[in-house]
Chains A and B, each alone.
Chain A
Amino acid sequence: MLGEMPRRVWPVSAARTVPFPWSQARAVITALTDARSTLSVTLDGRAWNSLLVTSWEGAYRDEFDEAYARLCAAAGDMLERVGPRADAVVDAATDANREQRRENDRAAGSAGPGVLFGAGTG
């Protein structure tokens, strides 16, 4: 799995809830992970498939190979970029948690001792 999502910091009573779409963010991480996996499978599969057409030669093959090389490079680039995209989602969730802790602290400061903090998977 790309990018481990942090456990959600829940608002304590009387604290403002920091809005963050946790379920959607998790779904994005899952989708990015799936995309990365399928991209890898695609590249591997194509490498094996190319053994089928060792006898294909000529001008059309040259044109195919040129485009093929470009797309393989693009796919490789996409594989490299997927991690940072997932990290950006995780960072946004981490920021939301940090802000929620501040809100919780503020609420705790106002209410005095005895206020419970919560954390969970949301």
Chain B
Amino acid sequence: MPPGISSADPDDLALFSQRGLDLDAALQARADALAAVVGELAGAGEPIAGLAGYTESLTDLVLDWIHLDQFAARVAEGFLACAASVGCDGTATFTVTDADLARYIHVGYADRDTAVADAVHLADDVRALLGEGGITAEDIDALLARTERGRYDPTFAVTFSERIGVEGYVGLVGRIRQTMLPDGGDDTRMVVAHVEHADPCGEVEILATVDVPETVALCARRKHGVRCHDAARDGMITRAQQCCCFGLHYRHG
């Protein structure tokens, strides 16, 4: 396959993903059962060296498989949407340029470890940047560009949120406001950080919005635990502002 070209049978890819997820469910049941009995053994005063670590590794492996199979499902959805856009039904192999495919694929990382590593790296860089002076709009753009894949990846989102914390979000949004908005963001019509107690289980939803001078329609996302307010419908931004949503579902302890 030449560089920049992709192909797949969307239906087969979706089936492949579903079968993988079925295998994951079976393995997850085993991992959960093992974790329970290993916990009981340790609770009875007989912790066996290496057993708890093995159980954690197995659980981690299951989560990695689930993440990978969900990645395949997202890619299948992208191929299917791309095929549908040109009148194909997804039952045959579909070949497309990566540029065209990218318009329809909203997918995070294949490897959960990579998602975690990138989220940690980004969060650390954000923290470092918050401690510096003289941040430019290019610095902010460069940071946001690094969420290109991660914003579709629940593992990335959770890791980033846990790493940076609520204070980090508030600090980041403040810097974005100072750096990228006219008059340091002194625009009462724009809500730059919206924090609410979303539900009784202790979750807080945070929306960071970045204003750039371009008119782009907004849409709300709600997939795999990552959700974003429909800021346009909520009347939180003005007409000529593009909302670069980096909405992360942050779970408190």
Q: Residues on A close to B: CB < 8 A?
A: 19-21, 24-25, 27-28, 30-32, 34-35, 38-39, 41-42, 45-46, 49-50, 52-53, 55-61, 63-64, 66-68, 70-71, 74-75, 78, 81-82, 84-85, 88-89, 92
Find the A residue at minimum CB distance from B61. Answer: A74
18 CB contacts below 8 A, A to B, read A28-B34, A28-B41, A32-B34, A42-B24, A42-B27, A42-B65, A52-B13, A55-B7, A56-B7, A56-B8, A64-B68, A64-B110, A71-B65, A74-B64, A75-B61, A78-B54, A84-B50, A88-B49
Q: Which residues of A contact B65 (CB under 8 A)?
A: 42, 71
Contact assessment for A57 and B1 in the assembled complex, using a CB-CB cutoff below 8 Å: yes
B18: min CB distance to chain A, Å? 10
Given contacts A57-B8, A64-B72, A64-B75, 19 further A-B contacts (CB under 8 A): A21-B46, A24-B44, A28-B37, A28-B48, A35-B34, A49-B20, A52-B12, A52-B13, A57-B5, A58-B101, A60-B75, A61-B6, A63-B110, A64-B68, A67-B114, A70-B111, A74-B64, A81-B54, A89-B51
Q: Chain B's nearest CB lies how many Å from the CB of A100? A: 14
Q: Which residues of B contact A59 (CB under 8 A)?
A: 6, 98
| Most chain B CB inside 10 Å of its own CB: which residue of A28, A30, A55, A74 | A28
Q: Which 8 pairs from chain A and chain B are nearest by CB?
A: A58-B6, A21-B44, A67-B111, A56-B8, A57-B1, A31-B34, A67-B110, A27-B37
Query: Counting CB contacts under 8 A, is B40 at the interface?
Result: yes
B57 within 8 A of A: yes
Across the interface, name the chain B residue whose C-beta is closest to A20: B46
Interface residue B251 (Cβ < 8 Å from any Cβ of A): no
CA distance A46 to B64 in the complex (A): 14
**B44 / chain A contacts, CB cutoff of 8 Å:** 21, 24
Residue of A nearest to B7 (CB): A57
A44-B207 Cα distance, complex, nearest whole Å? 43
Q: How many residues of B sit at the interface, in one of the four size bands?
A: 35 or more
Chain A residues near B6: list those with CB within 8 A: 57-61
Closest to A35 in B: B30
Which residues of A lie under 8 Å from residue B169 when comparing CB positions? none
Please pick, from B5, B26, B110, the residue contacting A42 in the complex, using a CB distance under 8 A. B26
Q: Contact check, B15 vs A82: say whether CB atoms are below 8 A apart.
A: no
Chain A nearest CB, measured from B223 CB (Å) = 17
